[in-house]
């Protein structure tokens, strides 16, 4: 008799996952802690999502005041259109949550800024709306370390899976020895 081997339900699955990039905008990025690493990791997530066929969404908070998404990301996201918002949570970003549901995404990988404001409120609202959230801690930032630390703890306490960019990419990849594996491996080196 063979026993069925189960995978943990929290492991990201391509067919169920979307990437959400929150508010990485020109006029605020420079005051974020470790903003160079933040941008490098978000670029890895974008390129990895494209390799793996993962849908990408990105938001801009009050672009008139904070500017558009930084060029380094916007150039990679040229097939996608920014979702503008005035609310801190992306739950107020037009029909974004409804579109995620309509497209049958149940797992959302989240990155962006600021961790303790827009990211945190979005993550809590995603969880409240029955999405499983995987938060890429090394692709999120705040101006102050204390705010970042407390936000990560709070989101974890409320059910977010907190991990890293590389973990997200390899969870979505699942197997080695493929062209996708080789491409992802080059990204994370």
**CATH number of the structural domain spanning residue 33:** 3.40.50.850
Contacts 24+ apart (CB under 8 A), 75-80: 76/43, 76/46, 76/47, 76/50, 77/21, 77/46, 80/56
Q: DSSP letter string over 65-82?
A: HH-SB-HHHHTTTTTS--
- Helix (H) or strand (E) run with residue 173 in it: helix 165-173
- In the structure, what pLDDT confidence band is assigned to residue 162 with cuts at 50, 70 and 90? very high
* Lookup: tokens for 170: 């390899």
Average pLDDT rounded to a whole number, residues 1-7 = 83
Count structural domains, the chain: 1
Query: Is 76 part of a structural domain of the chain?
Result: yes
Domain range holding 136? Answer: 14-188
pLDDT at residue 49 in the model:
97
- SS3 assignment, position 186: helix
Query: Is 5 part of a structural domain of the chain?
Result: no
Question: What is the distance of C-alpha 43 from the center of its chain?
Answer: 11
- Nearest Cα neighbor of 104 from 13, 7, 9 is 13
Query: Is 48 part of a structural domain of the chain?
Result: yes
pLDDT at residue 1 in the model:
67
Query: Is 2 part of a structural domain of the chain?
Result: no
Percentage of the residues of the chain whose pLDDT score is greater than 70: 99
Q: DSSP letter string over 113-155?
A: E-IIIIIHHHHHHHHHTT-EEEEEEEEEE-SSHHHHHHHHHHH
pLDDT at residue 132 in the model:
98
């Amino acid at each position: 008799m063979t026993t069925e081997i189960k995978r943990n339900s929290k492991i990201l699955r391509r067919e169920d996952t979307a990437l959400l990039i929150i508010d990485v905008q020109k006029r605020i990025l420079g005051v974020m802690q470790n903003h160079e690493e933040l941008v490098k990791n978000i670029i890895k997530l974008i390129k990895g999502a494209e390799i793996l066929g993962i849908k990408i969404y990105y938001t801009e908070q009050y672009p008139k005041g904070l500017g558009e998404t930084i060029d380094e990301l916007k150039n990679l996201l040229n097939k996608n259109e920014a979702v503008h918002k005035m609310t801190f949570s992306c739950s107020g970003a037009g029909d974004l949550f409804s579109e995620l549901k309509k497209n049958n995404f149940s797992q959302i990988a989240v990155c962006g800024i600021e961790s303790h404001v827009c990211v945190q409120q979005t993550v809590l609202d995603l969880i409240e709306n029955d999405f499983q959230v995987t938060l890429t801690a090394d692709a999120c930032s705040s101006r102050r370390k204390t705010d970042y630390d407390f936000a990560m703890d709070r989101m974890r306490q409320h059910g977010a899976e907190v991990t890293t960019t590389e973990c997200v990419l390899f969870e979505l990849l699942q197997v080695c020895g493929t062209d996708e594996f080789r491409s992802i491996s080059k990204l994370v080196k």
